[in-house]
């Protein structure tokens, strides 16, 4: 994964384009930032740096914990067996 891939939605919303090689291009077709084959990142456009900084804050916000489903409390119905003694009369 290239460095600017995680910022791609924010950069595209601002009018920049991120290609498959890790380069960021502005609307005029000028190269604004690049990642070379060794992973070094260079950015010449201060707007790209600001956009990435804001997007990093958005990405680092903790997500709310999912709500836990309420547990169903099952009640055991106790059935008592009634034994009737029948006395047979003679």
Distance between start and end Cα atoms, the chain: 96
In sequence order, what are the beta bridge partners of 34? Answer: 42
Predicted pLDDT at 10: 94
- Beta-bridged to residue 41, according to DSSP, are 35
Structure confidence at residue 62 (pLDDT): 77
Is pTM, for the whole model, over 0.95? no
Between 8 and 80, whose confidence is greater?
8
Looking at residue 2, its pLDDT comes to: 87
How many Cβ atoms sit within 10 Å of the Cβ of residue 54? 13
pLDDT in tens, 38-78: 989 999 899 999 999 999 888 787 777 777 776 766 666 65
Where is 25: in which H helix or E strand?
Answer: strand 24-25
The pLDDT, as a whole number, for residue 74 is 66
């Amino acid at each position: 994964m290239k460095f600017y891939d995680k910022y791609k939605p924010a950069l595209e919303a601002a009018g920049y384009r991120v290609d498959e090689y890790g380069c960021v291009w502005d609307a005029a077709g000028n190269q604004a930032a690049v990642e070379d084959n060794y992973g070094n990142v260079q950015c010449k456009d201060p707007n790209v740096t600001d956009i990435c900084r804001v997007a990093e804050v958005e990405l680092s916000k903790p997500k709310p914990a999912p709500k836990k489903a309420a547990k169903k409390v099952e009640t055991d119905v106790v059935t008592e067996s009634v034994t009737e003694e029948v006395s047979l009369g003679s």
